[in-house]
Structure 1
Amino acid sequence: MMLSTVSLLLSALAAVSALPVDTAPSTVVKRGEWGIADDALSNNGIGIGFLPDFDVSSVSDLNAVLPAGMAVVGDYFSISSSDTSLGGEPWHKADIISQSTKPVYMATIELASGPYDFSSSQADAISSAMRELTDAGVPVWVRFAYEMNGCPAWNAWGCDPAGFKQAWAIMAASLRANAPSAKLLWSPNIDGSGADGQGNYADYYPGDDTVDLVGLSFYWFGDDQQQNTVASPGTFTGQAAPFYDAYAGGKGKPFVLSETSGGYHYFTGSSTPAAGGASEYAIKTGWLEQVSGAATKALFPNMVAAVWFNYEKDEREQTIDYRGVLGSSAVQGAFAAL
């Protein structure tokens, strides 16, 4: 009788162990659930997108040199009580809709006259345009009043938690009513200050009920933000982890690196590299690995996308080349190899 009982118990345990087990945390999200196409450009399950400089290139131009359609296309436009034309969005729309792999359209919205100028009529103009895109099969993330936590303010809507939350609530109400398929992306700038590395994020968080995705602007600018140096290993994950843990992993929300690049510095208006000595290839491919490598995905399982700022700009008293494609052929080759 004892042997029979033991045998039955062992058989039952063997049957249970043979069942498939889902070991993934319940909070892990999948990129496809948030509009990223299965066949879009990706690395280790992280969709790779771009913020094109639409003055010199289009989505079609970038996709022509990539092995797959970009996962996300970011677009900047400003809005105010005196201008609701939405910048270049109406002109970019046809090109985006025409792509065989539809990228997520990440509308990066600037409040040209500050948060207190923003009204429901402006929000409705945005929602109407976003509805046209979603109706055409283009997923939409509204990255509203991004980098709002920058202090001292470097934009018209920054460093004002009350004003930001007021404007956000207006945008959220309009989007939910008029373009319900579009998602709201809360996207502060990286701020690792404070003993816990949480910076001032909490001051600007609008609340779980209106935030669909969370994101960060986080660049590698080099030493002193002016030198050509390669980021130390773990720079991205180490500094982004407090934000990720609190707002992505901790809340079960998707995480987007919504604006990033590794900048390569020149003396202004010249082809002479600034100090530092590292090559453009080493800087940019090193940063690409940091933001989309396998180790990063393992640490940040809710990370669904990284969006590369594909501009060359005169700023910080230098010319800085942020481009991943349509610039250096060697760097472009690294993106083409994804």
Structure 2
Amino acid sequence: MTVTGTGFKASTTGTVIVGSATFAFQTTSQGAFSTGITIPAAPTGNLTITAKTSSIKASATFVVQAAPVPAPAPAPTISSAPLRFGAATPGGPLASSELDEVATVSGEIPSIVMSYKDFLQSPPITELDAVRSRGATPLVTWEPWAWGGGVNQPAYSLARITAGDFDGYISQWGQSLAAWGKPVMLRFAHEMNGNWYPWAEGVNGNQAGDYVAAWRHVHDVVAATGAANVQWVWSPNVPYSGSTDLAGLYPGPGYADIVALDGYNWGTSQTWSSWVSPVDLLGPGISQLRTVAPGKPVLIAETASSELGGSKAAWNTDLVSYLAAQPDVMGFVWFHMQKETDWRINSSDSSASAFKSALSARRS
């Protein structure tokens, strides 16, 4: 702050005293002065400021009040809103710092935490415990292949799965999940209507009808272990020109508890992609799910948007608003990763702010 004074001897030096600190000044030809001072960091009660020269001394006393310390922002919690919010992060359920970041940027703890496992991995009980400790429900994407092996993996053909070649392994998963005993969503062989995974029909030697047969077989082997706590999630990709028709891939109402969609707004991040709104991206697929699996709850199991080609902030707002208006859509899982493009919620400040506000609005 600045201290000023008049009535002092002209053109002389002086000192301003504030507590134990001193600040020099020089008067003008009219006997006035002005000098900057620093208030003590933690003054209490009255504070006296004194200005003096060799012949004159003047003081003033002020009541100094410290600025109130703002209350800390409330810690994020899991929302009870009908539309659930979930997340998948690079490190999975054991990467607590990643999930903490999601909670911070979104203002809400994800109530669903998704992870990915191939057919070489053991039942992830430690990860399930970690998700449960956060108050969330685990969603395990179980992929019948060996990661990194490409589309052509004859060892993991649908016919081999149906023939029982993996029954021992599948039973191990079922027994472990049954022993764990808490609710878990199991998303087996997702995006089967595309052609980029070895469990799709038309690739890897798979024929029409093989997918449903394999799904039912895996379901029945797990069910035989007593794993009644498992919710089966059937999760195609959003339909596109050339994708396999969903009707021939649906295993039936007794074999799926939740139906889901994966859909991304790639924007202009790829040479083949363009900006697409949440309604145009997800709406046709949701309509098909309602036709193929009437009455089943719908989950958007993977979604996110690129920053390139439009306003990601507006896209985030529109996504949550659109999904919250669909009574049969139970939730969505955000793919919080920097991969083909920056899918993360906080890829920009505007994206994070809009996402957080959209989640808050759907809670009110």
Report deviation, 1:164.
1.8
The separation in 2 between residues aligned to 1:290 and 1:228, in whole angstroms, is 20
1:154 shift after superposition: 0.6
When normalised by structure 1's length, the TM-score is: 0.67
The answer for the alignment partner of 1:106 in structure 2 is 139
Q: Does residue 341 of structure 2 align to residue 332 of structure 1?
A: no
- 1:73 counterpart = 2:113: yes
Alpha-carbon distance in structure 2 between the residues aligned to 1:143 and 1:73: 12
Task: Give the aligned partner of residue 43 of structure 2.
Answer: none
What pairs with 1:171-320 in structure 2 (closer than 5 Å)?
171-177=218-224, 178-193=226-241, 200-223=245-268, 225-226=270-271, 230-232=275-277, 234-248=279-293, 251-264=294-307, 276=309, 278=310, 282-283=311-312, 285-293=313-321, 295-298=322-325, 300-313=326-339, 315=340, 320=341
Amino acid at match of 1:311: M
3-state DSSP of counterpart to 2:314: helix
Tell me what 2:63 maps to.
none
CA contact (8 A) 1:108 1:145 kept: yes
1:85–1:190 Cα change, 3 Å: same
Q: Distance in 1 between matches of 2:244 and 2:200?
A: 15
Cα offset, 1:96, TM superposition: 1.2
1:101-139 Cα distance to aligned partner (Å, 9 max, x none): x22211101111343343222222222343354x2x4x2
SS for the counterpart of 1:218 is strand
Q: Which has the higher strand share?
A: 2
C-alpha separation between the residues in 2 aligned to 1:70 and 1:173? Answer: 30
Contact 2:317–2:354 under 8 Å retained in 1: no
Q: Post-superposition shift, 1:66?
A: 4.1
Aligned to 1:95: 130
Letter in 2 for 1:287: W
What is the number of residues matched between the two proteins?
Answer: 259
* 8 Å contact kept, 2:299–2:330: yes
- Compare the two structures and name the one with the higher helix fraction: 1
Q: 1:47 aligns with which of 81, 84, 89?
A: 84
Matched residue, 1:143: 187
CA drift at 1:90: 4.3
SS in 2 for 1:180: coil
Question: Counterparts of 1:2-81 in structure 2 under 5 Å?
Answer: 40-41=78-79, 45-54=82-91, 58-79=98-119
Q: Tell me which of 99, 121, 144 is aligned to 2:168.
A: 121
Q: Tell me, yes or no, if the aligned pair for 1:120 and 1:170 is still in contact at 8 Å.
A: no
Q: CA RMSD, aligned part only?
A: 2.9
* Larger Cα-atom Rg: 2
Q: Secondary structure at the match of 2:140?
A: strand
The answer to whether structure 1 residue 155 and structure 2 residue 197 are counterparts is: yes
Distance 2:328 2:227 in 1: 25
- C-alpha spacing 1:213/1:93, structure 2 compared with 1 (3 Å): closer
Deviations 1:279-311 (A, max 9, x none): xxx22x333333321x4443x311001111111
2:343 to 322, 331, 338: 322
Per-residue deviation at 1:224? 7.9
Aligned to 2:148: none
Deviations 1:60-111 (A, max 9, x none): 44335443321211110000xxx2425xx34523421221xx2221110111
Deviation at 1:189, TM superposition (A): 0.8
Question: For 1:189, what is the secondary structure of its paired residue?
Answer: coil
User: What is the distance in 1 between the residues matched to 2:99 and 2:342?
Assistant: 19
Q: Which AA in structure 2 matches 1:304?
A: M
* Secondary structure in structure 1 of the residue aligned to 2:159: helix
Task: List gaps (5 residues or longer) in structure 2.
Answer: 1-76, 146-155, 360-364
Aligned mates of 1:42, 1:244 — CA distance in 2: 25
1:213–1:324 distance in 2 versus 1, CA, 3 Å = same
* Offset, 1:241: 4.1
Check the 8 A contact 1:222/1:263 in 2, yes or no.
Answer: yes
Q: Which has the higher contact order (CA 8 A, sep 6+)?
A: 1
Measure the CA separation in 2 of the matches of 1:117 and 1:226.
37
- Counterpart of 1:336 in structure 2: which amino acid? K
The residue type paired with residue 142 of structure 1 is L
* 2:110 partner letter: M
